[in-house]
Amino acid sequence: MPDAFTTRILHITTGTDETVTDLTHACETFLQESAAGRDGLLNVFVPHATAGIAVIETGAGSDDDLLAALRTLLPADNRWLHRHGTPGHGRDHVLPALVPPHATLPVIAGRLELGTWQSVCLVDTNISNTHRDVRLSFYG
């Protein structure tokens, strides 16, 4: 019988632009290897103070709309008290309050139970940190 708890760390290169990175395929691959057809929960966690996890539609402009909305809500200017790094970097530290650093998702019969247009995404507005770790954990 497979372990009731399995975890893996993904190493993601996000580059020097604000980005929404689709992790759905990596989550599905992890579940194929660890869930073995069981029901359970997938936890997706990014252990960084300036990134988050979102469940959104991608590829039809929603990912760009999310980044545009975040630019409106969290402008990259000098209003932020947290001022190290690139100009406006303080906003990146506020991001996880709006896009949390985690998501817990249902797994049914070893498959991620998402809606038709939903994807699991890493949201990263910190252009100074080009590498992120994302922990996938299955409990079932």
Identify the CATH number of the domain in which residue 46 sits: 2.60.120.460
pLDDT for the residue numbered 1: 55
Instruction: Please say if the pLDDT value at position 107 is more than 90.
Output: yes
Residue-wise pLDDT for 84-96, tens only, equals 888 889 999 999 9
For residue 29, the enclosing domain spans 20-127
Q: Domain for residue 73, yes or no?
A: yes
Residue whose structure tokens are 């896009």: 99
47's tokens: 């252990």
Q: Domain for residue 84, yes or no?
A: yes
Q: Domain for residue 12, yes or no?
A: no
If one counts the domains in the chain, the total is: 1
DSSP helix/strand/coil, 2: coil
Residue-wise pLDDT for 39-62, tens only, equals 999 999 999 999 999 999 998 999
Q: Domain for residue 6, yes or no?
A: no
